[in-house]
Amino acid sequence: MQTADIQRRWLDFFGDRGHTVVPSASLVSDDPSLLFTVAGMVPFVPYLTGVVPAPYPRATSVQKCIRTNDIEEVGKTPRHGTFFQMNGNFSFGDYFKEGAISYAWELLTSSQSDGGLGFAEKDLWVTVYEDDDEAIRLWKSIAGLPDERIQRLGMDTNYWSTGQPGPAGPCSEIFFDRGPAYGIDGGPATDDDRYVEIWNLVFMQYLRGEGTGKNDFEILGELPQQNIDTGMGMERVAFLTQGVENMYEIDQVRPVLDAAAAMSGRRYGADHGDDVRMRVIADHVRSSLMLMTDGVTPGNEGRGYILRRLLRRSIRAMRLLGVDAPSFEVLFAASRDAMSAAYPEITEHYDRVSRLALGEEEAFLRTLTAGTSILDLAVAETQQQGSATLAGDTAFQLHDTFGFPIDLTLEMAEEAGLSVDREAFDRLMAEQRSRAKADAKSKKGQLADLSVYGAFRAAGETRFLGYEQLETESSVLGIIVGGTSVDVAQEGEIAEIILAETTLYAESGGQESDEGSIVGTGFDLEVLDVQRPVAGLFSHTVQVRRGEVRVGALARTQVDPVWRRSAAQAHSATHVIHAALRQTLGDEAHQSGSYNKAGYMRLDFSWNQALSAATRSELEEISNIAVRDNLPVETRVMGLDEAKSLGAMALFGEKYGDRVRVVDIGGPWSRELCAGTHVGSSAEIGMISLVSESSVGSANRRVEALVGLEAFREFAAERALVQQLSANLKTPRDQLVGRIADLGAQLKAAEKRLAQLESSRLSEKVPALVATAAPQGAVTVVAQSLGALGSADDLRQLATSVRERLSAQAAVVVLAAEVAGKAAVIVATTPAAREAGAKAGALARVASGVLGGGGGGKDDLAQGGGTDAAAIPAALEAVLAELRG
């Protein structure tokens, strides 16, 4: 049974039984505490917790998920994957335990010819929470399971909660027994891979209190509404029904594994280590494909970092299989072909995804080349010092700074006959993880408990009237201070205000929230921020400037008209520049992110090379022509499918409902789904000044522009600068470029003459330095302090010139000087001196130790220094003593 068929059977089964079929949400989670959608229930959390009223009594979905907690286990077990699909059915105060158990058993055990999954009843076990006698009774009566295939387990495995005060409840898990060939008898309680968990039924019926861990919290009582949240693992069911050994061999994953095997010339199943690497590649390439299809781009933080890590682990695994050449073109095409039957949007976005993947691969292969050079130097220095162990901090720097995988460091060090101080490396990695966790925890701690908004949201949605007007009368529905609902906020306090209506725009779609105020009898509130903490609810963060505000008070929202006008100009300019980019570069230049506020906008777009000056000029001109032509700006509200049929662009990272707002500028020239505020016609945007274009990733660029009055001010400042230069240089404006170029050429010529004079002056010192040569042990030595010099390069030039004069001898040249207030030392040796045992790098380290710094280099030429210039004579004497020894 193909995986896409399992998906179809699931949705048909529950759809036929009154469940609303909900499409998979994006892998990019709306929950600010999550990087990704990590479980099938995540999009339904507001309904399950009661924060937002559920729009349907029961629902079903096949949700795309990403989890990276167990990334190191990928490929090693039959069931760990970063990307997976969770089939879920949900009840919001509708059916409960009996319905959930009945549906699960029917779908699992019905024959495939009847639309079921065809599992044999004898192979299925269940676990229940140890005190849940009701669930045991239902499993016996509905499924006819005998006592020996129902196991009671504790809270650590069979009790669900979010980890925080809120909804909780027992759960029941369904397992498939793979048979004695896969492990020991004893059922799921043995925690053996023989028993594969395929379905988890959560009975959400209690309210839990404070506590940590999985079983040290108090149950406060029953929830007002009992909910069902279930999840069936698609990949696990697929590998069991397809008769393969693990999730990496199912129809949606195996083609990538086979492609990796073919490219490497190694056979899957012949070597355990190679098998793990092939499974890692298959999993990570599929996960990366799905993430990039949902708009994630490689980067150095957050979601982008996770994606980059998956891509680089894939490249590393291919290298360990013996493939050094680029491989993503083949691997990603194999994954596209395997996944597009279930997710047709993959094909639609594949050109963009492929460019991202190939660009990241090319960049990382260059990184590997650079990292290899750095590692080679570190290996040489380690061997020179007589050590057999590469320092852990070196391995960590390679990993952390250059993205050089530790496995590759271990492999290359072993080839050079060295081990790696893995204990030190692991300690540094642990410290880094601890810092990251502490940072994440501190950020998560700043997020309000969303349950505080539940009662307000239950009263209805906030009506946003700001498209048509800047002021409106409303009433205060709620006040939140410090995450707690209160009745009053007093002068000087910062609070969140919930209103029935508002004209103040909440931050979304890349547009900052409005500036403005909320006023009423006896109070004046300055609006600091406006957000939508839960769907449909506006929260205004305010500072009480005067008086006190109470729940139930009448209030008037007032948007700052200057701010709104400038913000609307900037948002409309974002649409104009996006359309101009696509007109200039083609449809592949697709927006991947944006930010705009009054007078300023930036737009990120998919493109893998810098824009030329001519292209930037063309982009700016097209944008300002659109402003000049006074194109009509029209907004319409329609169904999502109708909007897409008209060609309206949906942007990555945005979540759209069934009804959407379409913004046209010049008709179809710019047609996007957008909830932001906009001008009435393009002429109202005013001037657009493109101020920068830069890279924000291997296949993403960013343009920034000033808009309206801010653009005029930028041009006015540049005009004043040109006028000042023209006056100071006594040159007409139209001749300034030539005049400045002439001055630059004159300056360069003068610098060249000065360098020649300085070189001549230094050359004059060489004979006198050569004359100081004196024997020290087995070599002849020049060891001199030269006072103050302009640069270390001058010191190096002198040392190499003196060494050249003494090249026929076993000579060592040690010159020191004060450069920019610090001590610098250069050591140069002739071939005969090196044969006698004099090594420049070692001698430079001796001198640098006295000077309070560090140094080193090759045997023929090395450099060092320190902060104590007064210690130069002592440093030279230390070198002489070393040579005499």
Range of the domain at 595: 572-707
CATH number at residue 617: 3.30.980.10
Interstrand relation of 774-776 and 700-707 (parallel, antiparallel or unpaired): unpaired
CB neighbours of 111 closer than 8 A, spacing ≥ 6? 118
Number of structural domains the chain divides into: 5
Q: What is the pTM of this model?
A: 0.70
CA separation for the pair 651, 670 (Å, rounded): 13
What six digits make up the tokens of 824?
């610098």
Question: How far is it, in rounded angstroms, from Cα 766 to Cα 671?
Answer: 74
Give residue-wise pLDDT tens across range 755-812.
777 777 778 888 989 999 999 888 999 999 988 887 888 888 889 999 999 999 999 9
Q: What is the pLDDT of residues 351-388, one digit of tens each?
A: 889 988 998 898 888 877 777 778 888 888 888 888 88
Q: How far apart are CA 307 and CA 288, in angstroms?
A: 6
Task: Count H helices and E strands in the chain, helices first.
Answer: 25, 34
Give the residue numbers of the binding site.
571, 575, 674, 678
The stretch 505-520 carries a mean pLDDT of 94
Cα separation values, 133 from 170, 201, 207, 792, Å = 11, 15, 19, 82
- Verify that 555 and 622 share a domain, yes or no: no
Rounded Cα distance between 783 and 354, Å, is 60
What per-residue confidence (pLDDT) applies to 567? Answer: 96
End-to-end CA distance of the chain: 80
CA distance 205 to 203: 6
Domain match, 104 and 223 both: yes
**Is 410 within the bounds of a domain?**
no
In a domain, 163, yes or no: yes
Q: What angle do CA 545, 546, 552 make, to 5 degrees?
A: 105
Residue 727 has φ and ψ, to the nearest 5°, of -70, -45
Tokens of 256: 């990538």
Same structural domain, 170 and 244: yes
Nearest to 817 by CA among 838, 794, 800, 834: 794
Task: Name residue 597's beta-bridge partners.
Answer: 600
Taking residue 421's Cβ as centre, other Cβ atoms within 10 Å add up to: 17
Query: Is residue 749 included in any domain, yes or no?
Result: no
For the stretch 259-290, pLDDT in tens is: 999 999 999 999 999 999 999 999 999 999 99
Per-position b or e across 221-252, b if 16+ CB within 10 A of its CB:
eebebbbbbbbbbbbbbbbbbeebebbbbbbb
785: its two tokens: 């302090």
Tokens of 643: 């909007």
Contact between residue 803 and residue 829 where contact means Cβ atoms under 8 Å apart: yes
List of residues 6+ apart from 880 with CB closer than 8 A: 776, 781, 783
Q: Evaluate whether residue 747 is within a structural domain.
A: no
- In this model, does residue 602 exceed pLDDT 50? yes
Per cent of the chain over pLDDT 70 is 97
Same-domain status, 792 and 825: yes
Average pLDDT over the chain, rounded to whole? Answer: 89
* Res 90: pLDDT: 96
Pairing outcome for strands 670-673 and 633-639: unpaired
Cα-based distances in Å from 48 to 10, 80, 224, 794:
21, 27, 11, 73
- Quick check: 299 pLDDT over 50? yes
80 and 18 in one domain?
A: yes
Q: Where are the beta strands (DSSP E) in 482-590?
A: 484-486, 488-490, 494-499, 501-502, 516-520, 523-534, 537-550, 554-559
d(CA 121, CA 107): 12
Q: Which of 231, 248, 265 is the last residue of a domain?
A: 248
Say yes or no: 796 and 678 in one domain.
no
Any bridge partners for residue 128, and if so which? Answer: 152, 172
Pairwise CA distance, residues 485 & 498, whole Å:
10
The backbone torsions φ and ψ at residue 386, rounded to the nearest 5 degrees and listed phi first, read: 80, 15
Report for 159-163, 192-196, 373-377: range of highest mean pLDDT = 192-196
Instruction: Determine contact, residues 104/199, Cβ cutoff 8 Å.
Output: yes
- For residue 499, the domain's CATH number is 2.40.30.130
Do residues 78 and 200 share a domain? Answer: yes
The Cα–Cα gap between 428 and 607 comes to: 36
* CA pseudo-torsion sign 402, 405, 408, 412: positive
Distance between CA 848 and CA 826 in Å, rounded? 10
Cβ-based neighbour number of residue 881 at 10 Å? 11
Same domain, 485 and 597: no
pLDDT band at 414 (very low <50, low <70, confident <90, very high): confident
Residue at which a domain ends, from 323, 340, 369: 369
Annotated binding site for Zn(2+): 571, 575, 674, 678
Instruction: Out of 351, 369, 387, pick the residue that ends a domain.
Output: 369
pLDDT computed for residue 655 by the predictor: 62
DSSP H or E run through 328? helix 328-339
The CATH number of residue 31's host domain is 3.30.930.10
More confident residue, 45 or 135: 135
How far apart are the C-alpha atoms of 580 and 589, rounded to whole Å?
A: 10
> In percent, how much of the chain has pLDDT > 90?
62
User: Could you tell me if residue 387 is inside a domain?
Assistant: no
130, pLDDT greater than 90: yes
Task: Look at residues 601, 534, 549 and name the one whose alpha carbon lies nearest to residue 572.
Answer: 601
Instruction: Using alpha carbons, select from 814, 803, 810 the residue that is nearest to residue 862.
Output: 814
**Among 549, 37, 685, CA closest to 306:** 37
CB 855 within 8 A of CB 845: yes
Predicted pLDDT of residue 670 = 95
Same domain for 106 and 26: yes
Following DSSP, what letter does each residue of 7-64 receive, concatenated? Answer: HHHHHHHHHTTT-EE-PPPPSB-S-TT-SB--STTGGGHHHHTTSS--SSSEEEEEEE
Cβ neighbors of 255 (< 8 A, separation 6 or more) are: 334, 335, 337, 338
Query: 593 and 520, same structural domain?
Result: no
Q: What is the pLDDT of residue 403?
A: 67
Report d(CA 373, CA 610) in Å as an integer: 27
Q: Which of 192-196, 286-290, 565-569, 695-699 has the lowest mean pLDDT?
A: 695-699
Give dist(CA 359, CA 556) in Å, integer.
Answer: 52
**In degrees, to the nearest 5, what angle opens at C-alpha 430 toward C-alphas 428 and 435?**
95
Does the pLDDT value for residue 559 go beyond 50? yes
Cα(514)–Cα(467) distance, rounded to whole angstroms? 12
Tell me whether residue 164 is in a domain: yes
Looking at the fold, whether 634 and 497 belong to one and the same domain comes out as no
β-sheet with 855-857: strand ranges across:
774-776, 779-788, 811-819, 822-829, 861-866, 855-857
In a domain, 364, yes or no: yes
Q: Are residues 188 and 67 in the same domain?
A: yes
Q: Residue 756 falls within a domain, yes or no?
A: no
Q: Specify the DSSP class assigned to residue 649.
A: B
